[in-house]
Amino acid sequence: MNGSQPRYTLRISRELLEKISYIAQFEGRSVNKQLEQLVKRCIGEFEAEHGEIKFDK
């Protein structure tokens, strides 16, 4: 794991965790990587509809 990446604790129901674990295993990914892919997809869909999200540095 890249030590410079921030950590985030996610609280979800046991049922959702079991289902995402099943999907991750089916896709050959860890649960963390599967969730990362879902977040990226969600952001991509949002930005496609509303424009790129930009932050001032």
In this prediction the pTM is: 0.83
Residue 10 corresponds to which tokens in the numbers above?
A: 């996610």
**CA–CA gap between residue 8 and residue 27 (Å, rounded):** 23
- Domain ranges (residues) in the chain: 14-50
The pLDDT tens digits for 16-55 are 999 999 999 999 999 999 999 999 999 999 999 999 999 9
